[in-house]
């Protein structure tokens, strides 16, 4: 898997020491372009994840965190600890760089696993903060307040300055808050919740839930942007049971629009940006026959393609529009 970034359709490959590198998010401030993700590497003959951060195409040194670490007595070869860190999102606020990431700690003694825990984390510049057990999905900063979305157990939530704000209680099914934006003091979150085996796309506005899904197919809301009072959400809909085929979707103030038809491909829309009256969505579409995987950008619903389809790209994509 190769890490890449495109500027107005022009492709650039990001440097990496690993042949399996994943980009997750992008943000731009002034003339600086920040991209975050992760790569795989070998530690004690085990594959683990390590965070990546590129600025203007140059790889940055990202130190392995020490929060929620496990003490191993010096020289004790019967004990092992492994750390997995994946950068998930980046947000630029003036001169400050915020990232959120998931940290997994696995501790074994005499071949037995005694600890296997996943923690929600974020960083401001080089200072890291632990949010406790959980997984993170997005980060946003507004008026100095830091918002991080994710999941804790079966419950969707966001943290505001480290304080938990639960959006679901886990009584219906597992839920995840996937994306967040704050406009005029109003907190908008997109995500999904499982209802008896069917994921339903949802939006929470200051904690008040709106269900976007109207049918019986699984749908997931993955990205959100708010502009001029209009709430734009992107995501996916399974068009066959099990999700072997799916359609990329866009909801505008709750009104659904299919970006792909879901008849011959597996498509998802991950990220959304608004510039004036133009709505940009990015995602990926895997053709079922042939297995080509295309990176797509939809501008006002019209698709363009960034890659050849057979170049080993795929997974999460993100978009940023600079006026």
CATH number (domain holding residue 171): 2.120.10
Task: Examine residue 143 and state whether it is found in any structural domain, yes or no.
Answer: yes
**Domain assignment present for 319:** no
For residue 126, tell me if it sits in a domain: yes
Q: Which domain holds residue 121?
A: 75-305
* Contact between 120 and 101 (Cβ < 8 Å): no
Cβ pair 157, 175 in contact under 8 A: no
Q: Specify the number of domains making up the chain.
A: 1
Structural domain includes residue 31: no
**Does residue 165 belong to any structural domain of this protein?**
yes
What is d(CA 211, CA 228) in angstroms, rounded to the nearest whole number?
21
Question: Considering the domain boundaries, does residue 16 fall inside one?
Answer: no
In a domain, 1, yes or no: no
From CA 194, how far away is CA 178, in angstroms rounded? Answer: 14
Q: Is 207 exposed, middle or buried (0-12, 13-18, 19+ CB in 10 A)?
A: exposed
Q: What is the pLDDT along the chain (323 residues), one digit of tens a residue?
A: 788 999 999 999 999 878 789 999 999 998 899 999 999 988 777 788 999 999 999 999 998 877 776 545 444 556 667 789 999 999 999 999 999 999 998 887 777 877 789 999 999 998 999 999 999 999 999 999 999 999 999 999 999 999 999 999 999 999 999 999 999 999 999 999 999 999 999 999 999 999 999 999 999 999 999 999 999 999 999 999 888 999 999 999 999 999 999 999 999 999 999 999 999 999 999 988 777 889 999 999 999 999 877 665 656 899 999 87
Q: Across the beta sheet with 186-195, what order do the strands follow?
A: 175-183, 186-195, 198-205, 208-211
Residue 60 lies in a domain: no
């Amino acid at each position: 898997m190769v890490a890449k970034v495109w500027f107005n359709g022009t492709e650039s490959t990001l440097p990496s020491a690993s042949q399996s590198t994943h980009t997750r998010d992008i943000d731009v401030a002034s003339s600086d372009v920040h991209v975050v993700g992760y790569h795989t590497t070998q530690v004690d003959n085990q594959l683990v994840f390590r965070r990546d951060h590129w600025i203007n195409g140059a790889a940055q040194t990202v130190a392995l965190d020490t929060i929620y670490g496990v003490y191993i007595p010096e020289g004790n070869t019967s004990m092992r600890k492994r750390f997995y860190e994946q950068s998930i999102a980046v947000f630029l606020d003036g001169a400050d760089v915020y990232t959120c990431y998931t940290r997994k700690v696995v501790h074994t003694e005499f071949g037995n696993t005694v600890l296997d825990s996943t923690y929600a984390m974020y960083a401001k510049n080089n200072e890291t903060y632990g949010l406790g057990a959980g997984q993170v999905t997005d980060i946003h900063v507004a008026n100095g307040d830091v918002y991080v979305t994710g999941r804790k157990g079966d419950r969707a939530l966001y943290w505001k300055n480290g304080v938990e704000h639960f959006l679901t209680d886990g009584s219906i099914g597992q839920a995840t808050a996937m994306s967040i934006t704050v406009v005029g003091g109003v907190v908008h979150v997109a995500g999904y919740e499982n209802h008896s085996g069917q994921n339903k796309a949802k939006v929470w506005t200051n904690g008040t839930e709106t269900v976007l899904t109207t049918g019986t197919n699984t749908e997931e809301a993955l990205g959100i942007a708010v502009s001029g009072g209009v709430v734009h959400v992107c995501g996916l809909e399974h068009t066959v049971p099990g999700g072997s085929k799916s359609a990329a979707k866009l909801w505008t103030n709750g009104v659904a629009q299919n970006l792909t038809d879901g008849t011959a491909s597996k498509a998802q829309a991950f990220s959304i940006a608004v510039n004036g009256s133009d709505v940009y969505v990015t995602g990926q579409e895997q053709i079922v026959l042939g297995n080509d995987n295309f990176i797509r950008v939809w501008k006002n619903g019209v698709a363009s393609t960034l890659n050849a389809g057979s170049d080993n790209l795929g997974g999460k994509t993100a978009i940023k529009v600079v006026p």
